[in-house]
Amino acid sequence: PDLSAAGSSNFRTFRALTCPTYCSKDVDPVCGSDGVIYKNECDMRKRTCNRDIDAVDLDQCSVPNGSRCDHKCDKDKDLVCGTDGRTYLNKCFLQVEFCERGIEFAHYGSCVNTSSSSQDYCPKSCSISRSVLQNGPVCGSNGNVYPSECEMKMKTCGQGVVSVHRRHCQTTKHCDSGCMRISRLTCGSDGKLYNNGCQMLRKNCGKHVYDVPVPFCLNKLYRTDCPGDCSDQPEDLVCGSDGNVYRNDCELKKMTCGYELTIKVDMSLCMEKLGNCNKMTCPEAQEPVCGNDGMTYDSPCFLRKATCTSGVQMAHEGPCADLTKEDECPQTCPEAKSDEFVCGSDGNAYSSECELKKETCGQ
């Protein structure tokens, strides 16, 4: 059936884009306006090149909406568990089950028999062996990252948590990435300099290390005089020779210190860009995110506006931390109550604020 009339404004129309020749293996199913389920958006564009096929709401690929549930899923293994308690080869095949029977996604990894999970072997302690160090951290089906399989079983005893592919957890999704040989000086929140952001994430597999302004590292390692904090400076927009608009002279120096020489140029050269970026309007919201300029933005929308004007990227969700202050690292925490759970900016859930500080000390 032709579902083109059911297209959602949440999806982009790809007809005007060039046809891709390569697509990632990531499984993130989409429903085409031709009623076919595809592995991901790129795969849909590749297979339907030069045809009027758009991505529509996933609900449109369902029997009640007249779909035949045809699909272009492949047999790449990335096990997922459905709400029917069955394990499927990957999320694309699960989407076909949703189309036919309304089965939804429960979690990544294989399903576990809940009656047997309560009888799982639960280790009392875990040793750090050479194999553990070589294999690296484990991504659990609950979205948390653990130092090892043993640690995961010990901390989630009886919960039916299984290990899944590392790309499904925030601090491990780049662990196995291949980094291009691009040199773009990057400062990590650990105070170390890296050739590029990819290298920083890969070398810190399982750790919450993120991109921060380069002066944080340069001033720490080489005692340079790059400005590290410009929050007390008034706004006086300046145009950089790199084409970006900065909040003031201080911000230009902070964000370009250590790179090729970027100087202040006539503001008229940036007026067109500034005018286009100012067309973006953001509603008042309290959904703070941290930019790699070390500034906290009220919402992802305000961050996107900063990306438009000065190329700022998101460092992590939640407000930025003051890295110049020493962390308070508790050694023990009182038993947490059920309503004290917190979500950390590293993507992990913790039983309390105290546990978060204890487990992530120094990060």
Query: Smallest Cα–Cα separation from 174: which of 347, 360, 323, 29?
Result: 347
pLDDT tops 90 at residue 112: no
The predicted model gives 289-309 an average pLDDT of 94
The predicted model gives 314-326 an average pLDDT of 90
Query: Smallest Cα–Cα separation from 236: which of 213, 261, 212, 264?
Result: 264
Give the strand pairing for 163-164 and 138-140.
antiparallel
Q: What is the pLDDT of residue 178?
A: 82
> Would you say 244 and 265 are in contact if contact means Cβ atoms under 8 Å apart?
no
Query: What DSSP assignment string belongs to 37-60?
Result: EESSHHHHHHHTTTS---EE-GGG
Q: What is the pLDDT of residue 75?
A: 92
Q: How far apart are CA 198 and CA 313, in angstroms?
A: 14
Name the β-bridge partners of 87: 81
Question: For the chain, what is the largest distance between any 2 Cα atoms, rounded to a whole number of angstroms?
Answer: 70
Structural domains in the chain, sorted by start: 30-118 (3.30.60.30), 210-317 (3.30.60.30), 328-362 (no CATH)
Q: How far apart are CA 352 and CA 337, in angstroms?
A: 8
CA 57 remoteness from chain centre? 23
Q: How far apart are CA 42 and CA 72, in angstroms?
A: 12
pLDDT tops 60 at residue 6: no
pLDDT digits (tens, 9 = 90+) for 16-38: 456 888 888 889 999 999 999 99
pLDDT digits (tens, 9 = 90+) for 160-215: 899 999 989 999 999 988 888 777 889 999 999 999 999 999 999 999 999 999 99
pLDDT digits (tens, 9 = 90+) for 58-84: 999 999 999 999 999 999 999 999 999
pLDDT tops 90 at residue 223: no
> Would you say 33 and 56 are in contact if contact means Cβ atoms under 8 Å apart?
yes
> Would you say 32 and 52 are in contact if contact means Cβ atoms under 8 Å apart?
no
Q: What b/e sequence results for 95-119 when a residue is b if at least 16 CB atoms lie within 10 Å of its CB, and e otherwise? A: bbbbbeeebebbbbbebbeeeeeee
Q: What is the pLDDT of residue 15?
A: 45
Name the β-bridge partners of 314: 291
Q: What is the mean pLDDT of the chain?
A: 87
Q: What is the pLDDT of residue 10?
A: 42
Do you know the residue count of the chain?
Answer: 363
With 0.85 as the threshold, say if the pTM is over it: no
pLDDT tops 70 at residue 14: no
pLDDT tops 50 at residue 137: yes
Q: What is the pLDDT of residue 86?
A: 95
Q: Could you tell me the two tokens for 241?
A: 């020779």
pLDDT tops 80 at residue 231: yes
Give residue 309's identity as a one-letter amino acid code: T
pLDDT tops 50 at residue 11: no
Q: How far apart are CA 301 and CA 281, in angstroms?
A: 8
Name the β-bridge partners of 37: 31, 71
| Highest-pLDDT range among 80-94, 125-139, 175-189 | 80-94
> Would you say 249 and 276 are in contact if contact means Cβ atoms under 8 Å apart?
no
pLDDT tops 80 at residue 235: yes
Residue for token digits 């492949």? 74
Which residues, 6 or more positions from 269, have their beta carbon under 8 angstroms from its beta carbon? 239, 243
Give the strand pairing for 186-188 and 211-212.
antiparallel
Q: Confidence class of residue 272 from pLDDT cuts 50, 70 and 90?
A: very high
Q: How far apart are CA 150 and CA 339, in angstroms?
A: 27
Percent with pLDDT over 70 in the chain: 91
pLDDT tops 50 at residue 258: yes
CA 257 remoteness from chain centre? 27
Q: Which of 15-29, 83-97, 136-150, 245-259 has the lowest mean pLDDT?
A: 15-29
pLDDT tops 70 at residue 115: no
